[in-house]
Amino acid sequence: MFHVNDRTLLVAVSELRAKVPEIFGRLKKETVIVTRNNRPVGVIIDHHQYREMEEAFELLEDLVLGTIARKREKEAKGRNLIPHDKMPW
């Protein structure tokens, strides 16, 4: 195991297998980067941290899609477009 910084731990796959309980016990305080042949192959994070990241990505996605929708709405003004409720599907 090697600390990249105060919140990130680098662990080889072979070491992970041998020390699963110890490494999982550290997830509240540290992110674990798993390596194979000295190359990163995965990341293990605390479930709470994962949920926070997932929520942040959803908010970011909403922001981006809203920006795209407003831009398209401005571009469409004055054009002869079919409203969504009048589409033939």
Q: Is residue 32 part of a domain?
A: yes
Q: One digit per residue, pLDDT tens: the chain, 89 residues?
A: 878 888 898 899 999 889 999 999 988 899 999 999 999 999 999 999 999 999 999 999 999 999 999 998 888 887 887 888 888 87
Judgement on whether residues 41 and 23 belong to the same structural domain of the protein? yes
**Domain containing residue 63:** 48-77
Query: Residue for token digits 């926070």?
Result: 52
Amino acid 63: pLDDT: 96
Q: If DSSP codes are grouped into helix, strand and coil, which group holds residue 26?
A: coil
Burial status of residue 9 (CB atoms within 10 A of its CB: 0-12, 13-18, 19 or more): buried
Judgement on whether residues 11 and 35 belong to the same structural domain of the protein? yes
pTM of the model: 0.63
**Do 32 and 22 contact (CB within 8 A), yes or no?**
no
